[in-house]
Structure 1
Amino acid sequence: MKTTTQPRIFKKAFTLLEMTVVILVLMTLLKIGLVTSSSLDQWKLGRTASEALRSVYTAQRMYLADNPTVAVSTITSALLIPYMPNNATAIPTVKSLTGTTLSIILNVSPPVINAGSGTTYDPSGSNKDSLWDVGE
């Protein structure tokens, strides 16, 4: 006796609900990635600024070690450039979170970033976190 079996047909397709869920998950992951990337960019700017300040601070300390009678308030960029690490030819500048170029105030120890009119620029809000400052 022969029995015939009917071939089974399986439909391999996504429903509209499944596609919507997949798209929402992908959009959520994309948004998380963009927010993380923005925070990482801000951290990189802060890290670069702190490295620039450390190099100026190192030059200050080396200059003052060679010239112990000089007051910190009289230090100029011309005096520090020969003491800059890696044979730098100028005092470094830093970029703010908005992209503006800021200079470094050299005649205070530790040096700070100039936000204009002699005020200190530190968007992190702390001088002990080693971002945007030399720290203590």
Structure 2
Amino acid sequence: MRNLHPRPARLNGGFTLIEISLVIGLLLGLATFAGMNIATVRDWQRGKDASVSLLAVFAAQRAYLSDHPTADIAGVPTDQLQLYLPQGWVTMPAVLSLDNESLSVDHTVMPPLLMLGSSVYDPSSNGSDGLWDVGQ
């Protein structure tokens, strides 16, 4: 008896070396691109964290001056200003620079500034962009 429905010839189901190489190259390219962007996002996040810290000190300065309208902010000690920090803040914030150096908050000026030694620390291109500063 003759077979009316012949079976198709069996095809090899594997991938060629070119296809595998293209997929590996694409994955390596995506991993490299993601790695470069993660560093940028980490730096941006540090800048935003610094801004939030400065905003907390700025809020404490305004609250202190509303209770003591004749006071000069330059003469306010740190322990007095800490009492006016927003809820959740117990001590003056600790901020790290992009190079993991400890920055101090200069609370004797309004708005407060981040200091690295005796110089103002703001690695962003704009001094009022909300990164490493209080913003506008």
TM-score, with structure 2 as normaliser: 0.91
Query: Matches of 1:30 and 1:75 in 2, distance apart?
Result: 50
User: What amino acid is the match of 2:102?
Assistant: T
- Aligned Cα root-mean-square deviation (Å): 1.6
Cα displacement string for residues 3-41 of structure 1 (whole angstroms, at most 9, x for unaligned residues): 584650201111111111000100111112112211111
**Are residues 1:128 and 2:128 paired?**
yes
Residue identity matched to 1:14 = F
Contact 2:106 2:113 (8 Å CA) reproduced: yes
1:101 aligns to what? 102
- Report 1:42-53 matches (<5 A): 42-53=43-54
How many equivalent pairs are there? 135
For the residues of structure 2 that align with 1:93 and 1:116, how far apart are their CA atoms? 14
Match of 2:36 in 1: 35
Contact 2:102 2:116 in 1 (8 A): no
State the one-letter code of the partner of 1:96.
Answer: S
Question: Does residue 85 in structure 1 map to residue 86 in structure 2?
Answer: yes
CA–CA distance in structure 2, aligned partners of residues 28 and 100 of structure 1? 32
Corresponding residue for residue 14 of structure 1: 15
Q: Distance in 2 between matches of 1:35 and 1:104?
A: 30
2:61 corresponds in structure 1 to: 60
User: In the TM superposition, what is the alpha-carbon distance from 1:89 to its structure 2 partner?
Assistant: 2.7
Mean Cα deviation higher: 71-80 or 97-106? 71-80
2:77 equivalent in structure 1 = 76
Q: What secondary structure, in the 3-state scheme, does the structure 1 residue paired with 2:120 have? A: coil
Identity of aligned residues (%): 36
Secondary structure of residue in 2 paired with 1:102: strand
Deviation at 1:75, TM superposition (A): 2.2
Q: CA deviation at 1:122?
A: 0.6
Distance in structure 2 (CA, Å) of the matches to 1:85 and 1:46: 20
C-alpha deviation, 1:43, in angstroms: 1.2
| AA of the residue aligned to 2:120 | T
Runs of 4+ with >6 A deviation: none
Q: Deviations over 1:75-125 (max 9, x none)?
A: 2211201101115331111111111221100101000001112x1101112
The alpha carbon displacement at 1:44 in A equals 1.0
